[in-house]
Amino acid sequence: MSGKKVIFDTALRASVNLQSSKLPSELTKSSTALFSALSGVKATLPDLPYDYNALEPAISAQIMELHHTKHHQTYITNLNAAMEKMDSAMINGDVSAVIALQGALKFNGGGHINHTLFWENLSPNSDYNEGGTLDKALKERFGSKDGFISELTATSLAIQGSGWGWLVYNPKTKMVDIAACPNQDPVEATTGLKPLLGIDMWEHAFYLDYKNVKPDYVKAIWDVINWDTVEARLEAAK
Amino acid sequence: MKLAIASLFIGLASAWSPANDASSSRREAISKTLAAGAALASPLVSNAYSVPDLPYPYEALEPYIDTPTMKIHHDKHHATYVANINKAMEGKEEVPILDLMENALDAGPVRNNGGGHYNHAFFWSEMAPPDVAKKTKPSDALAKMIDSSFGSMDEMKSQFEAAAAPGAVFGSGWVWVVLNNAGTKLEIVGTPNQDNPLMKGVKDEIKFPILGLDVWEHAYYLKYQNRRPEYVSNWWNVVNWDKVSENFAYVSEKKSGVPVEG
């Protein structure tokens, strides 16, 4: 082994000269400890900002609990496992293994990102700020809030199989827009568009309450949107 | 609609014309009229495809697949694919659903709804109530091919379960045991959404399913929720290996997909 090791933590890179021959000997001795810290903090399940039953009757407590403690948690568990494997692959310079892990990272990492965004853009309190930044942006692009709701509803219902419907901010056009992504593809990483509001169209998101009647689920979810969060995301994205 | 009603009146009136003096021919004339009236009254949609009846009652696959799931899966989900493929094929030549599979990737509605119809019709036909299923077994020819392709039945099931695991087929999709195009070995493939290996372009070559499992969440969520691996391992209890053997014999001989009802 030439001693060349790739260092990912930027702070560490700054404090330790990139030339591996200049690595302090104490560090190379404790390299296992060093590299196990490089993947950073492990992903953990965020608490919901409301009780499981808070979004009823739009979304039942049963679904919220399963969705949060089982589905989202599984993405996190599998993401952490994939990240660990990624660390070893990177450390060993195993390009083939790095590439092979991309699918698992996109799926589970995307699942974690999407669900984290989702919990935050739902709320029992769906107050809407008339005339605010979001309202203006929606009117500019869709003519009205209802026009927007109509379009995102249609896009979400048209998704074949599993996926998400999104209100996004397009940094190129400087306008809001609608996007749909398949499976757990994270919208920003795969399209460059910034997510503002997500609707989970995977069957697990609604099946126990609505069975095959997707339109009823999407209609009901508009009652529990956290418009304040959506507006804050838009302001941050601009 | 007015045309239908008018033709009904005229037709029915003619049943009492002097030409129809025997009552049996009057009955015939009436039933012909009603049939013609009904055809005129119905909207001009091609009803080329229909949801095939389940070959067993809704509750027959309990406890492995629950009754509510069978009802909703068959009566709602499959029915929606059928309604949509009929709409998409309005005015077009009526062909068996199998024939639409090869070029399904050319048209979105055919891919999703034609695929959905074929896949579900195929699915219902390969299952049987547990007490019937357990008396079935692979034919000698199929057993031999399973062993040469996978090593053993257990090995095949194990690979199948791995392919059906959440994350392997990603979102919604199906897992299949297929005969490769050359007819030399069996393989396990996963396809997303309502794609199937008969569709040109879905895999590197067209492959012929002999066994398939729906791993869309609607196929198991009411009973299993997120516990897909449990659904998959339980599913073997309702597989009709006699039908799977028939499928194998068919695809081996004809180098074509298995035809389905509906």
A69 → chain B, closest CA residue: B226
pLDDT band at A106 (very low <50, low <70, confident <90, very high): very high
Contact B202, B103 (CB under 8 A): no
**Integer CA distances (angstroms), A228 to A144, A148, B237, in order:** 17, 16, 50
Cis peptide before A57 (omega within 30 of 0): yes
**B194 vs A contacts (CB less than 8 Å):** 160-161
Residue A18 covered by a domain:
yes
Q: Are residues A14 and A65 in the same domain?
A: yes
Mean pLDDT (chain B, rounded): 89
Mean pLDDT throughout A88-116? 96
For residue A114, the distance in angstroms to the closest alpha carbon of chain B comes to 14
Please tell me whether residues A21 and A43 are part of one structural domain: yes
What is the domain extent for residue A184? Answer: 133-237
Phi, psi of B208 (to 5 degrees): -110, 110
Q: How high is the pLDDT of residue B168?
A: 76
Instruction: Give the closest-approach CA distance of A162 to chain B in angstroms.
Output: 5
Contact between A207 and B221 using a beta-carbon 8 Å cutoff = yes
Q: How far apart are CA A194 and CA A232, in angstroms?
A: 12
Q: Does B230 touch chain A (CB under 8 A)?
A: no
Chain A residues with CB-CB distance to B under 8 A? 66, 70-71, 74, 78, 104, 107-108, 160-163, 182-184, 202-204, 207-208, 211-212
Q: Tell me how far apart the alpha carbons of residues B125 and B54 are, in angstroms, rounded to a whole number.
A: 8
Residues A94, A199 within the same domain:
no
Tens-place pLDDT, residues B25-65? 555 555 555 555 554 544 455 578 999 999 999 999 999 99
Three-state secondary structure along chain B?
CHHHHHHHHHHHHHHCCCCCCCHHHHHHHHHHHHHHHHHHHCCCCCCCCCCCCCCCCHHHHCCCCCHHHHHHHHHHHHHHHHHHHHHHCCCCCCCCHHHHCCCHHHCHHHHHHHHHHHHHHHHHHCECCHHHHCCCCCCHHHHHHHHHHHCCHHHHHHHHHHHHCCCCCCCCEEEEEEECCCCCCEEEEEEECCCCCCCECCECCCCEEEEEEECCHHHCHHHHCCCHHHHHHHHHHHECHHHHHHHHHHHHHHCCCCCCCC
Q: What is the pLDDT of residues A187-196, one digit of tens each?
A: 999 999 999 9
Query: Which candidate from B167, B171, B222 shows the least CB-CB separation from A208?
Result: B222
Nearest to A202 among B171, B222, B225 (CB): B171
Give the mean pLDDT of A113-119: 98
For residues A231-237, give the mean pLDDT. Answer: 97
Residues A101 and A141 in one domain: no
Whose CA is closest to A3, among A16, A15, A21?
Answer: A21
Q: What is the pLDDT of residue B171?
A: 86
What pLDDT, on a 0 to 100 scale, did the predictor assign at position A40? 66
- Is A207:A162 a contact under the CB 8 Å cutoff? no
Asked whether residue A128 is domain-assigned, the answer is no
Q: Look at the block and give the residue holding tokens 């809030």.
A: A145
Dihedral (C-alpha) B110, B116, B121, B126: value to the nearest 10 degrees? Answer: 130
| Residue A173 covered by a domain | yes
**Is the pLDDT at A27 greater than 50, yes or no?**
no
Q: Residue B52 corresponds to which tokens in the numbers above?
A: 């095939």
B173 interaction partners in chain A (CB closer than 8 Å): 161
Last residue of a domain, one of A120, A142, A170: A120
Residue B190 pLDDT class (50, 70, 90 cuts): very high
Q: Is residue A198 a contact partner of residue A165, using CB atoms and an 8 Å limit? A: yes
A125 belongs to a structural domain:
no
Question: What's residue B1's pLDDT?
Answer: 54
Clarify whether residues A98 and A69 are in a common domain.
Answer: yes
Nearest CA of chain B to the CA of A36: how many Å? 26
Examine residue A23 and state whether it is found in any structural domain, yes or no: yes
Instruction: Output b/e per residue, B208-217; b: 16+ Cβ within 10 A.
Output: bbbbbbbbbb
pLDDT grade for A20, boundaries at 50, 70 and 90: very low
Whole-angstrom Cα distance, residue A12 to residue A3? 17
Taking 70 as the threshold, does the pLDDT of residue A229 lie above it?
yes
Residue finishing a domain among A120, A148, A167? A120
Query: Distance from first CA to last CA of chain B, Å, rounded?
Result: 28
Residue A127 lies in a domain: no
- Tell me the CATH number at A45: 1.10.287.990
Q: Who has greater pLDDT, B154 or B29?
A: B154
- Confidence category of residue B12, pLDDT binned at 50, 70, 90: low
pLDDT digits (tens, 9 = 90+) for B197-254: 999 999 999 999 999 999 999 999 999 999 999 999 999 999 999 999 999 999 999 9
Selecting from A71, A160, A212 the residue whose C-beta is nearest the C-beta of B193 gives A160
A-B contacts at Cβ under 8 angstroms = 58
Q: Inspect the interface and report whether the beta carbons of A208 and B221 lie closer than 8 Å.
A: yes
A91 & A143 share domain: no
Q: Give the contacts of B115 (CB within 8 A, at least 6 positions apart).
A: B101, B104, B193, B194, B195, B196, B199
Contact call for residues B81 and B194 (beta carbons, < 8 A): yes
Per the CB < 8 Å rule, is B166 touching A66?
A: no
What pLDDT score does A218 carry?
A: 98
Q: How close B149 gets to chain A, by Cα (Å)?
A: 25
Find out whether A166 and A143 touch, Cβ atoms under 8 Å.
Answer: no
Identify whether the C-beta of residue B203 lies closer than 8 Å to the C-beta of residue B173.
no
Query: Phi then psi for A194, rounded to 5 degrees?
Result: -95, 125
pLDDT-derived band at B16, boundaries 50, 70, 90: low
Chain A CB contacts of B222 under 8 Å are: 207-208
In a domain, A48, yes or no: yes
- The verdict on A19 and A40 lying in the same domain is yes
CATH number reported for the structural domain that contains residue A195 in this entry? 3.55.40.20
Integer CA distances (angstroms), A8 to A87, A90, A196, in order: 9, 9, 30
Residues A116 and A7 in one domain: yes
Q: Across-strand partners of A225?
A: A122
Lowest mean pLDDT among A39-53, A199-213, B138-152: A39-53
**B114 and chain A in contact, CB less than 8 A:** no
Interface test with A, best of B69, B74, B113, B170 (most A CBs within 10 A): B170
- Predicted confidence (pLDDT) per residue in A55-81, tens digit: 999 999 999 999 999 999 999 999 999
A21 lies in the same domain as A59: yes
Check CB contact under 8 Å for B217 and A160: no
Query: Is residue B75 within 8 angstroms of chain A, CB to CB?
Result: no
Residues B87-97 have pLDDT tens digits of 999 999 899 99
How far from chain centre, in Å, is Cα B148? 29
Q: Of A88, A120, A152, which residue sits at a domain end?
A: A120
Q: Are A13 and A7 in contact, with CB atoms under 8 Å apart? A: yes
Contacts of B76 in chain A (CB under 8 A): 211-212
Same domain, yes or no, for A150 and A200? yes
Which residues are CB-contacts of A228 (< 8 A; sequence separation ≥ 6)?
Answer: A123, A127, A129
- Kindly indicate whether the ipTM for this predicted assembly is greater than 0.90, answering yes or no: no
Domain-located, residue A126: no
One domain, residues A66 and A159: no
In total, how many domains does chain A have? 2
Are residues A140 and A99 both part of a single domain? Answer: no
The Cα A198–Cα A230 span in angstroms is 9
pLDDT confidence of residue A34: 43
Q: What residue type is assigned to position B19 of the chain?
A: A
Please tell me the number of Cα atoms within 13 Å of B152 on its side-chain side. 3
Name the DSSP letter for residue A225.
B
If pLDDT is split at 50, 70 and 90, which confidence band does B170 have?
Answer: confident
